[in-house]
Structures are given as structure tokens and as C-alpha cells.
Amino acid sequence: MYLCDCRRQKFTAGNRIHFYHNRPVMKKLLLLLLLCSAIACNNHTLPQSEKATSCRQLVVVRSPTDTSTQANLQRFEKNGKKWKRVGKRVDVTLGRSGLAWGKGEHAYQPGQQKREGDGKSPSGVYTFGEIFGYAPASEASFRMPYVQADEALECVDDSGSKFYNQLVDNKLVQIDWTSSEFMHRPDHQYKWGIMVNHNTPSLAQGGSCIFLHIWYEPGAATSGCTAMTEANLLTLLHWLDPAKSPLLLQVTEAEYPVFRKDFGLPE
């Protein structure tokens, strides 16, 4: 497959004269070749945004395929110009339907795109939002912003609401949604978690309420979040430092090499 179908032509005494008298055509062909080369060489996954270039903490989730529900997570930290692995690789689970490209800090990627209610975790590169948990703020010791997940905290998944894809205290706003997720669950899954800034600013039906949180049980898939043990999640949450502009990279093994190269991660 060629980006440009510019086939070679053998030069003879006759066609040298032909090309000499068609210099404008040759100039256009050369410009086309240069343009095609530029497109090929600049096929980057990351726009040169401030968020991408200032990142010094990276959470990498790699999945075997885009239909897998099991994956692994590795932390990286950048000292100077070099990335180093932090801690051991840990097991995580994904959405029950695998992965689909979401809306984040990465350049648009062709393929299946995440939609509301599709059961897929978002592929791509994302910033983090607030950490949340059942404990009051006085008992939390994180560097990232923290909000208590009490009985009034909801995450709105009604795309018709002006609060779509946001954590909202329902005592402080006029409710305009018919669907949401109460963040103080009757189980342990949201005892600790962190918001992933997917689909922000929010597009209707683009997917909402994506978190890293505690898994229900080992190996249990989610509705679109990324889940792990409480111990591994707490290690991650205490490590995250807003001063180091942390990002989440979540992709398949087949897609990872291109992103690895763009970030400059070690082999």
C-alpha cells in the first residue's frame, strides 16, 4: 500500500526530452511526493499540547486486544529526559465489551469510537480529575484534589443534562437529569477512585463517568471503567502528583508501540 502512487519511469533518450518540456508537471510531482512524505512522517498519536509535553507521570494500561476485559497497568515517571518504570506491573480489568477510542488528549484515531452505554473502556490518552472516596476529606492524604463520595454525590450520565459527565453534589444544583450514578455505593467499589477526564468538554452520547476504581472481585469486568485491587489503587492514587501533570495511556498491545515511541518510553 502506497501513500503516493508515484511509480518509477525508466529514462531514455526520448523521454528525457519529454520531461524537459514538462517541467511544471515535474514540479507538481515533486511537491506531491514531499507532501506525502510529510504526512507519513507526522502521523503522530499525540498533538504537541502543553499537557502532553509537560507530563512527567504516566499510567500505562495495555490490553491484549480491543475485546479483552483483562489488562495490565504499569507506572512510569520522567526524570530529566528519561522515563523509568515505577513499581511492578499489576493486573486490572476493563469494560465488559473491551476498548474503543475515546475523546482525550490524543489525536483522532480511526476505528470504533466510544459511545454512552457501550460497556467499553476508552482507549487513548487522558488527564485525571478528582480523587473520590467514602472517607471525609480530613482523612484523605492525596496530592490530587479530593471529594468525598457521600450520599449526595452523583455522576450524571444523562447526555441531555447540562451536568452530563460531571460529579455533582445534588444538594447544590437544580436537578435536570433522569439518569445518574450515586457515588456512595452499597459496596466497596467506590471506596476509593479517580475520575478520568474522558469526553471533556462533553459531547452528547460520547460516554461518561469513567473512573479508575476498586474491582468488585478479581477478574470482574466493569461497565467501562478500569478496576484493580484496593491496595494497587491506593498505591497509584498516593503516587499521583498534579505538579507532574500525570496522564493515563490506555491502548491495546498492537497500538502501544506507536504511543510508546511518541512518549519516548523505554522498550
In the predicted model, residues of the chain with pLDDT beneath 70 are 1-44, 47-50
> What range defines the domain where residue 23 resides?
10-43
* pLDDT tens-digit readout, 157-181: 999 999 999 999 999 999 999 999 9
Claim to verify: residue 88 and residue 216 sit in the same structural domain: yes
Q: How many Å apart are CA 162 and CA 157, to the nearest integer?
A: 10
Residues 64 and 38 in one domain: no
239: which residues sit within 8 A by CB, 6+ positions away? 57, 75, 86, 87
- What's the Cα-to-Cα distance from 113 to each of 104, 143, 158, rounded to whole Å? 12, 32, 19
pTM across the whole model: 0.83
User: Is 4 contained in some domain?
Assistant: no
- Is the distance from CB of 210 to CB of 195 less than 8 angstroms? yes
Residue 29 pLDDT: 55
pLDDT tens profile 228-245 = 999 999 999 999 999 999
Query: Within a domain: residue 252?
Result: yes
Residues in the chain: 267
Domain co-membership, 102 together with 188:
yes
Instruction: Identify the H or E element spanning 259.
Output: helix 256-263
Angle, alpha carbons 210-46-224 (nearest 5°): 15
- Quick one: 38 and 149 in the same domain? no
C-alpha cell at 178: 433522569
Please give the angle made by the CA atoms of 254, 52 and 127, to the nearest 5 degrees. Answer: 85
Residues 19 and 71 in one domain: no
CB contact at 8 A, 107 and 48: no
Give pLDDT, residue 144. 98
- Give 75's strand partners: 59, 86
Residue 45 confidence (pLDDT): 76
Q: Which of 95, 91, 101, 55 is nearest to 198 (CA)?
A: 101
| 19 and 110 assigned to the same domain | no
Predicted local distance difference test score (pLDDT) of residue 28: 57
Residues 17 and 69 in one domain: no
Q: In the chain, how many domains are there?
A: 2
What is the distance between the alpha carbons of residues 197 and 213, in angstroms, rounded to a whole number? 14
Asked if 250 and 224 count as a contact pair (C-beta separation under 8 A), the reply is no
